[in-house]
Chains A and B, each alone.
Chain A
Amino acid sequence: MNERVAIIGIGTTGFSPVSPDLSFKELTYSAAVKAYDEAGLHPKEIDSFITGSEDFMEGYSIFDEYIPDQMGAVMRPAHTVCADFIQAMGMGCMMINTGQFRTIAVEAHSKASNIKTLDEVKAFALDPVYIRTLKENAEFVAGLEMRRFLGDTGNTEEQCAAVVVKNRRNALMNPDAGHGAVLTINDVLSSHPVSTPLKHLDAAAPSDGAIMIVLAAEEVAKKLCSNPIWVKGFSWFSAEGNLWNRDMSEAKYARLAAKKAYAMAGIFQPSKDIDFAEVCDEYSYKELQHLEALGFARKGESGFLTETGATSLGGEMPVNTSGGSIGVGHTFEASGGMKVNEAVLQLRGLAGKRQIKGARTGLVQSWRGVPTATGSVAILSNEL
């Protein structure tokens, strides 16, 4: 692929535990208006549209029916990927690289607050013959993985709690975040067990919000935008589809995706070449597991780095300055979009109190949640 692609417009509603004053269409429209306005384009001037969504999160059997109007995509080439926002963004970059499209709008949103039976929906993703029939909460999968990950790497529950403390504190500085708080390690450790060693405060709370970006090919980006953010590399991978078949000591999907994204972006030493990272922290241990898979920490050292402040704002590799899913709220397929939003703010110098000085290159990463082993990585930069 040789066509360079940039984000030239971004819009988000911010993220909050509930959003009762807006329908899902109005929520998405609000984000889309901002994105198009910033890009200086009318949706008629957008060549194609992508939504990342899953039917049962919306409460429709065919949610694709309900995507066009609020994106301005009526009678236009629009499609759904049942995938995370960063995968959708990658598809947008690929579409531009076919030579047939110059501008693509990518959208994802969450109205998780509208699901009365979210536990049922999550359990409905489990294998219907072998796993769902055990009738356990889907989060047991995270409990299984967390124990093995900690056991194999030597990272500790306290270090996982340190992730929570850091991210919720970061969220206090983020006006788009819904879960900022000042907590202690002990607050996390003493919170109610969900599926040991996973505890209540180790898990990000579901949230609502919408995000849209406008992607453009290089010559369009340079013409329209004074501060384009370039997608230097991206990839997504799935490890073993069947969860009983996975090596739980690592996030293989993130390792494989990072390898490819780094090659595309010309990154040889992630810790040096990248200034900050927004990684998936749907569960606290996932941030640690992802840091190791992405090459920011050696096996077993991610917890130590967190504890000693290396991943805090002002540390060597700030991680989840946004607050992450734990601090902002977990927005499912939109969670990767929240991370892209943070990276764009940081790279444009618009991150306010949590601004990383001189940030030039950032990494965003997502995971599709239990019971999947699918995730994506993208490298964003304010330099071409």
Chain B
Amino acid sequence: MGKRRVAVVGVGLTKFVRRAQETGPELSHQAVKMALDSAELKLKDIDMVTLGTAPDAFDGVHMKGEYLLSGAGGNNKPYIRNFVGGGTGVFAPIHGWMHVASGAADICMVVAEEKMSSCHPHPQGAFLTIFDHTTEQPLKPTLIWIFALEMRRYMEAYGLKGEDIARVAVKNKANALDHPSAQIAEKVTIEDVMNSEMLADPVHRLDISPASDGAAAMILASEDVAKRLTDKPIWLDGVGWNLDTSYWATKDLYYPRYVEKAARMAYDMAGIKEPSKEIHIAEPYDPFDYKELHHMEGLMLCERGQAAQMTADGVTARDGNLPVCPSGGALGVGNPIAATGLMKVIEIYLQLKGEAGKRQVPGDPRVGVAQAWGDLMQVGTVTVLRR
């Protein structure tokens, strides 16, 4: 246990859209303002700010954190940017946790922003240079390669079919119909997914989340401040993260061992011994549909190789025994990378508070986990929230 318990006391979220007119700082402001209002706080009440945002190559500004700082409420405050690739959105509140648990701040603003539409004509172009500049980039790799390679390895390991995985996209896109931030919520069928354009076998277009613009914010506070602000604090009781080797092709992609290690770190801190029993609701990162299954296994919410069956059995549906991505996830709400991760933590917060509206899961959940993944199949970031 940290020396100081940390609570979530306010959240804010923009709509996720394909193209925002707002600049990155303007998007950030919208989320921060909403979080301040929800906690009934003023900007001057914020002691420190930490901002998570994925590559500079999306928004198209070197030192993007400095560019966003005015809109993130960082003017004349201690302000820092954290960055663990695609895992950043869930890492941002972990960074905020460090600020508050250490005693450096009593109230910390956590911001996550991404404006991928600036990268023109498509953010894919920014992904060529995620691969090793000398030993891989000359092969002209695309982002989809690495997902297709991982998805096939995962399917091979457990004998899964595309249809088993497409079910995740169907569930999440439908869940998102009830999310006010959703960009591509829709009713689709397994056939729709399987018949959508084959981009990189086995990945179809509808297996993938879209590129998006959006921002999210979350206010974290120390125990005494939180109790003053709310009679229903939601505690950030466990945090974990882990980074695997850069040599991604030298490990078996079928299982995200880095997610497991991150989860173990978070569960240890939160005192969770049997995750599949003690966790009531989960928001694993789902930029691709198979990733949700992959991550459920890494989070030890089920036995390895069983996540697809659980999905088929309806266990992970919003009214199932273990609702997974009741928000609609990246597949349904949209995927402005860092903002998506924080959106997931926000969803757990709202669900535990009983304030998720039409998305509220039954059964009065008390413990939830949100997770993101990042880099070249390397990063796991995990937060455990408790009412």
Q: Which A residues contact B (CB, under 8 angstroms)?
A: 1-2, 49, 54-56, 59-62, 64-69, 73-83, 87, 91, 93-100, 121-122, 124-125, 127-129, 235-242, 245, 252, 256-257, 260, 368, 371-372, 374
Partner of B80, one of A56, A61, A236: A236
Per CB-CB distance, the 3 closest pairs between chain A and chain B, nearest first, are A241-B70, A241-B69, A97-B102
Say yes or no: B83 contacts A82, CB within 8 Å: yes
Known: A1-B103, A54-B56, A125-B67. 10 other contacts (CB 8 A): A60-B130, A62-B54, A68-B246, A76-B243, A77-B241, A93-B102, A100-B2, A125-B61, A237-B79, A374-B69
Say yes or no: B80 contacts A83, CB within 8 Å: yes
Partner of A54, one of B4, B62, B84: B62
Q: Which secondary structure characterizes the binding site on chain B?
A: mixed
Query: In the assembly, what is the distance between CA of A68 and CA of B98, in Å?
Result: 21
Minimum CB–CB distance for B273 against chain A, Å: 18
Say yes or no: A77 contacts B101, CB within 8 Å: no
Chain B 216-256: CB-based contact to A (< 8 A → 1; otherwise 0): 00000000000000000000000011111111000000000
Minimum CB–CB distance for A118 against chain B, Å: 11
The stretch from B168-176, B348-356, B370-378 touching chain A is B370-378
Can you give 29 contacting A-B residue pairs, CB < 8 Å? A54-B62, A55-B57, A55-B62, A62-B55, A62-B85, A64-B243, A65-B130, A68-B246, A74-B245, A75-B258, A77-B241, A77-B242, A79-B95, A79-B243, A82-B65, A93-B102, A94-B98, A98-B2, A121-B62, A124-B62, A238-B74, A238-B75, A238-B79, A241-B66, A241-B74, A242-B70, A260-B78, A368-B66, A374-B79
Q: Does B294 contact A (CB under 8 A)?
A: no
Q: Which residue of A lies closest to B378 (CB)?
A: A65
Query: In the assembly, what is the distance between CA of A124 and CA of B118, in Å?
Result: 14
Given known contacts A1-B103, A77-B242, A95 and B76 CB-to-CB distance under 8 angstroms: no
Query: In the assembly, what is the distance between CA of A67 and CA of B212, in Å?
Result: 27
Q: Which residue of A lies closest to B239 (CB)?
A: A100
Say yes or no: B78 contacts A68, CB within 8 Å: no
Say yes or no: A78 contacts B243, CB within 8 Å: yes
Query: In the assembly, what is the distance between CA of A40 and CA of B332, in Å?
Result: 50
Say yes or no: B129 contacts A60, CB within 8 Å: yes
Given known contacts A62-B130, A82-B81, A77 and B240 CB-to-CB distance under 8 angstroms: yes
Partner of B102, one of A49, A81, A94, A371: A94
Minimum CB–CB distance for A86 against chain B, Å: 11
Say yes or no: A65 contacts B85, CB within 8 Å: yes
The interface size of chain B toward A, counting residues with CB under 8 Å, comes to 70
Q: Which residue of A lies closest to B374 (CB)?
A: A64
Query: In the assembly, what is the distance between CA of A130 and CA of B75, in Å?
Result: 19
Which residues in B have their C-beta under 8 angstroms from that of A65? 85, 130, 246, 375-376, 378
Q: Chain A CB within 10 Å — which of B64, B76, B132, B379 has the most? A: B76
Given known contacts A94-B104, A121-B62, A64 and B83 CB-to-CB distance under 8 angstroms: yes
Query: In the assembly, what is the distance between CA of A79 and CA of B64, in Å?
Result: 17
Which residues in A have their C-beta under 8 angstroms from that of B269? 100
Minimum CB–CB distance for B149 against chain A, Å: 16
Partner of B98, one of A98, A240, A374: A98
Q: Which residue of A lies closest to B126 (CB)?
A: A61
Say yes or no: B1 contacts A99, CB within 8 Å: yes
- Give the contacts of B258-308 with A (CB-CB under 8 A): 258, 261-262, 265, 269
Q: Which residue of A lies closest to B123 (CB)?
A: A61
Say yes or no: A83 contacts B75, CB within 8 Å: no
Which residues in A have their C-beta under 8 angstroms from that of B80? 81, 83, 87, 91, 236
Query: In the assembly, what is the distance between CA of A111 and CA of B70, in Å?
Result: 29
Query: In the assembly, what is the distance between CA of A98 and CA of B99, in Å?
Result: 8
Query: In the assembly, what is the distance between CA of A235 and CA of B4, in Å?
Result: 20
